[in-house]
Amino acid sequence: MTKRILATVLIATVLFQPVSAITKGDGGQIITRYLKVNSPVKKLIVYGDADIIFVKNDAAQVSIQGKTEAVNKVRMYNVDGLMEIHSGKFYRGKKPVIRIPVEQLEFLEVHGDGDVSSEAVLKAKELNVFVAGHCEISIRTLGKVNFDSSPDIFINYKKQQTIVFLNSDLLDKL
């Protein structure tokens, strides 16, 4: 009889222990990091999730703004007019915002989830855009724009004067 009572007391003690949960941080405070652009960007390839904004800026520097965790995951390479941006996968609005000085962009390739927009008008005669992810592109350009995508992407394209809007989505979602 003694053993049975002892076992019951132990089970009751385990069941009513306070529980604490550990939550991840929110990624830190908002920061801005600046990187020098070695050569004018003619070709841009984006991997991962990031919002890209083309700006007119004579300072020849890229700014990356977002929560500390998101900004620290961004890696960039800029050689001979080619810029590659490697960013992580972000959820719940934690994507970094990357502002790039561009005027003569000729090729844009997007792999991931993000928006691409322009504050400055792109002056290239022709811009080729390749999409391999879910993104929205809203750019201002004086030249012709050509679109292509991976086979699993559906492109919805609309042109208004010098502004081009593109919304891509995976065919699985249709």
Of 160, 155, 145, the C-alpha closest to 106 is 145
Sheet with 144-149, edge to edge strand ranges: 75-79, 82-86, 43-47, 107-111, 126-131, 144-149
Architecture of domain 25-173: 3 Solenoid (2.160)
Q: What is the pLDDT of residue 7?
A: 38
- Nearest CA among 98, 97, 110, 102 for reference residue 141: 102
The torsion angles phi and psi of 173, rounded to 5 degrees, stand at: -80, -15
CA angle, 148 as apex, 145 and 152 as ends, to 5°? 150
Question: Residue 156 has what pLDDT?
Answer: 79
- pLDDT tens string 16-63: 333 333 334 456 799 999 999 888 899 999 999 999 999 987 778 999
The reported pLDDT for the residue numbered 163 is: 59
Least confident range of 43-57, 71-85, 154-168: 154-168
Q: Give the pLDDT band of residue 153 (cuts 50, 70, 90).
A: confident
Q: Which residue would you say has higher pLDDT here, 15 or 110?
A: 110
Site of tokens 């703004």:
65
Q: What is the pLDDT of residues 100-143, one digit of tens each?
A: 999 889 999 999 888 999 998 888 899 999 999 888 898 888 88
Distance CA 17, CA 56 (A): 60
CB 40 within 8 A of CB 104: yes
How much is the pLDDT for 3?
A: 43
Q: Which residues pair with 97 in a beta bridge?
A: 51, 65
